[in-house]
Amino acid sequence: MATVFNSNPIVATTAILGLANHFYFKRHEPVRTTVIHTALVLLLEPAIQLFVLQRIASIDISVANVTLAYLVFFSSLAMSIVLYRISPFHPLAKIPGPVIFKITKFWRMYICWTGQQHFVVMDLHRRYGPIVRTGPNEISVIDLASVKAVLGSEGLPKGPAYLRLKDAGQPHSLIGTAGQERTDRRRIWSRGFTSESLKEYQPIIVSRGNEMSEGLAARAGSELDLEKWLAFYTLDFVSEMVLGYKTEMLKKGQDDTGLMELIRTGARVAEIIGHVTWVTHLANLIPTSNLDLRQVTGAWGQRRVETGSKTKDLWYHLTDEGGHEKVKPNPAYLRPEAALALIAGSDTTSTAMTNFFWFILADPKVYKRVRDEVDREYPPGTDPLRDTSRHGNMTFMKACINEGLRVYPPVLTNCTRVVPKGSGGKFIGGHFIAEGTQVQVPPVCVHYNPDHFSPSPESFIPERWIPKEAEAIFKGQAVKMKMEAFIPFSYGPAICIGKHLAMLEMMMVLIMMIQRFDFEFAPDFDWKEWPEKKVDVLATRDAPLKVVVKPRA
C-alpha cells in the first residue's frame, strides 16, 4: 500500500483529499441550494488537484490519470464515510440496527419504494428492541417515554423529513414549520377546527354522504371497490370544506379531475425521496409541473377569491377573513396550506374507513354487533347524517373505529422529528442522541408494543376498548391499554389538527352506510390477503376492497 502511495502521487493525494472532504462535510452538511454548489466543488476538486500535480510533480493530464484521480477521490470519500458510519466513533454507534441501515439512507429509500417500510420497521423493532438505528443519522423509537420525549410539548421540532413537502421558491405548509412561525400558523389553522367550525362543515358531510348513498344504491348487487368510493367521498368532502370546490367524484363515479392520482403519486414520490435530504433539496430546485397539486389549489383558491363563499370554509380561516390577526397571513402560504389540507384530510380518513369495513366484514360476529348497535340507535326512518346526538351511545362502533386505527393507523410509520443543531443533543430511550439525528416514532410499532397494548397487540379485538368486556374476553390475563400510546393522530403540539373532524366524519358516514346497506366481500375477492398489500407511503395506500352492496330492506 505504502509503495503505491509513494510511487503514485495521484493515489496518495486524491485519497487524502477524499478523506478531507468527508470530515469537512460532516461538520458542514450541504443543504438546500448549496447541494449543487457542493456537487460542483466535488467534481472540480480532483481536476484542480491534477492541475497542481502537473505543475509541481510533472504529472501527465492523460485519460488514465484523470480516471485514476476521480476513482481514488470518490472511493476514498465513500470508504471513509462508510467506515465512519459503522465505527465505534459514530455518535449513534451504541444504538443497535442492521449494518446496511447504518451505512446508507439509500437502502431505506429503496424499502420505501417497495412500499414495505412498515413491515421492515416492525421487524427491526422485534429484532432490536424499542430503539433502533434506521439510518446513518436516524433512529426509530417506540416506548412511551421516548414518544413523549420526541413528540411531546418539550419534544423535538420537525426536521428535514418535512422539507420534502415543498416546491422551489414556495414556503412550507404548516406541517414543515418550526418555532414561532409554527405557533402563529397553527393558531390560524386552529380556528378552522373548533366545534363551531365543524358545524359549518357538517352540511357538506350530509350532502356528500347522501351522494355516496346514491352512488352505492345505483350499483347495488354488482361488485364495487369500496376503497375507491370512500376515497371519492373524502376528496369530494375535503375539496369543498377547504376551498368550496365541488369535485363531484361521487356523482360521476370517477375522478375526472385527476386529483386522487396527483395526491397519491405526489405523496409516494415525496416519501421516497424524503429519505435522503440532499436528494430532496435537489428535487425542490426543479420547477413544478402544471399538474402539481399547488397549481390546482392555486387555481381553486383564485376561483374561491373571485366567487367568495356563503359558508365559513377552511379558506375563510386560513386567509383570516374573520379579521382576528393583527397581521394578515402571507398570501404565499395559501397554496401550500390548501394542498396540505387536501392531502392530510383525504387518504387518511378514507383509509381509516376502509380498514373499518375490512375488519367488520372479516368477522360476521363483529359485523352483526355493529349493525345491531346502529339499528338500536338509528332505526329505519331516522337519518344518521342529520342527527349526531346518538353517537355517545355507540360504544361498540367507536371501539371498532379506534381498534382499526390502532391496528392499521393510516400513517403507519413517519412522524419524524430532529434533534436541532445547537441544542447540544437530547436523552432519548436511555441514550444520548446527538444533534442532527432524525428520530422517527412509527405509530404502528408503538401500537404493537406489548408494554402499551396487550394481550395480542397485533390483533383486532374491539372489546379491549370496553373495560368490562376486556376483563371477560382476556380472562384473568394482565390487560394493558396505555391511552397515551394510542397515536394514530400523532401526539403533542403537532398532533393532527383534523382529529375531531375525522372522527365526526367517520361516525356520520359509517353509521349511514351500515344503516342503509348490507355489505359482503365480493365472491372472488381474496380478502385475507388484503392487509398484506398495504403500501406505506406517507399515508397508507390500499389495494381495492371489493365488495357487493345491497340496500337493506
- Could you give the CA distance from residue 497 to residue 502 in angstroms, rounded to a whole number? 10
Nearer to ligand HEM, 115 or 442 (CB): 442
- Could you give the CA distance from residue 160 to residue 505 in angstroms, rounded to a whole number? 32
Q: Which of 490, 494, 493 is nearest to 443 (CA)?
A: 490
Q: How many residues of this chain bind ligand HEM (CB under 6 A)? A: 24
Cα torsion 166, 171, 173, 178 to 10°: value is 110
Q: Is 247 in the site for ligand HEM (CB under 6 A)?
A: no
The stretch among 25-33, 423-431, 498-506, 520-528 that binds ligand HEM (CB under 6 A) is: 498-506
The residue type found at 417 is R
Helix (H) / strand (E) element for 21: namely helix 9-27
Q: Which of residues 260-289 bind ligand HEM (CB under 6 A)?
A: none
Nearer to ligand HEM, 26 or 187 (CB): 187
Cα 403 to the center of its chain, rounded Å: 20
To the nearest whole angstrom, how small is the minimum distance from the Cβ of residue 404 to ligand HEM? Answer: 10
The CA–CA distances, whole Å, from 39 to 30, 105, 380 equal 9, 18, 68
Nearer to ligand HEM, 238 or 400 (CB): 238
Handedness of CA 338, 405, 374, 519 (dihedral sign): positive
Q: Is 489 in the site for ligand HEM (CB under 6 A)?
A: yes
To the nearest whole angstrom, how small is the minimum distance from the Cβ of residue 190 to ligand HEM? Answer: 9
The stretch among 43-51, 267-275, 407-415, 459-467 that binds ligand HEM (CB under 6 A) is: 407-415
150, 175, 276, 296: which one contacts ligand HEM (CB under 6 A)? Answer: 175
To the nearest whole angstrom, how small is the minimum distance from the Cβ of residue 347 to ligand HEM? Answer: 9
To the nearest whole angstrom, how small is the minimum distance from the Cβ of residue 488 to ligand HEM? Answer: 5
Q: Which of residues 360-389 bind ligand HEM (CB under 6 A)?
A: none
To the nearest whole angstrom, how small is the minimum distance from the Cβ of residue 453 to ligand HEM? Answer: 17
Structural contact between residues 300 and 243, judged by C-beta atoms closer than 8 angstroms = yes
Nearer to ligand HEM, 14 or 350 (CB): 350
- Using the structure block, give the residue that is written with the C-alpha cell 386560513: 318
Q: Is 497 in the site for ligand HEM (CB under 6 A)?
A: yes
Nearer to ligand HEM, 85 or 452 (CB): 452
Structural contact between residues 537 and 112, judged by C-beta atoms closer than 8 angstroms = yes
498, 514, 541, 547: which one contacts ligand HEM (CB under 6 A)? Answer: 498
The stretch among 386-394, 421-429, 482-490, 541-549 that binds ligand HEM (CB under 6 A) is: 482-490
Q: 512: number of CA atoms within 13 Å, CB side? A: 26
- Could you give the CA distance from residue 435 to residue 424 in angstroms, rounded to a whole number? 6
What is the DSSP track for 373-412?
Answer: HHHHHS-TT--TTT--TTGGG-HHHHHHHHHHHHHS-SS-
| Residues in contact with ligand HEM, shown as a per-residue x/- string from 300 to 339 under the rule CB under 6 A | ----------------------------------------
What does residue 89 show for φ and ψ, rounded to 5 degrees? Answer: -85, -15
Nearer to ligand HEM, 115 or 336 (CB): 336
Q: Is 174 in the site for ligand HEM (CB under 6 A)?
A: yes
Q: Which of 455, 495, 452, 497 is nearest to 473 (CA)?
A: 455
Nearer to ligand HEM, 127 or 499 (CB): 499
DSSP summary character for residue 158: B
Nearer to ligand HEM, 50 or 342 (CB): 342
**Which residues lie below 8 Å from residue 379, measured CB to CB, with a gap of 6+?**
none
Minimal CB distance to ligand HEM: which residue? 498
90, 186, 480, 482: which one contacts ligand HEM (CB under 6 A)? Answer: 186
Helix H segments across 58-194?
63-86, 99-103, 105-114, 117-128, 144-151, 179-190
Q: Is 415 in the site for ligand HEM (CB under 6 A)?
A: yes
Q: Which of residues 342-361 bind ligand HEM (CB under 6 A)?
A: 344-345, 348-349, 352
Q: Is 496 in the site for ligand HEM (CB under 6 A)?
A: yes
What does residue 133 show for φ and ψ, rounded to 5 degrees? Answer: -85, 115
Sheet order of strands, 131-135 included:
131-135, 138-141, 438-440, 416-418
Q: 365: number of CA atoms within 13 Å, CB side? A: 4
The stretch among 97-105, 286-294, 377-385, 493-501 that binds ligand HEM (CB under 6 A) is: 493-501
To the nearest whole angstrom, how small is the minimum distance from the Cβ of residue 338 to ligand HEM? Answer: 10
112, 142, 149, 238: which one contacts ligand HEM (CB under 6 A)? Answer: 238
488, 507, 542, 548: which one contacts ligand HEM (CB under 6 A)? Answer: 488
Residues forming contacts to ligand HEM in the complex (CB under 6 A) are 174-175, 186, 238, 340-341, 344-345, 348-349, 352, 410-411, 414-415, 488-490, 494, 496-498, 501-502
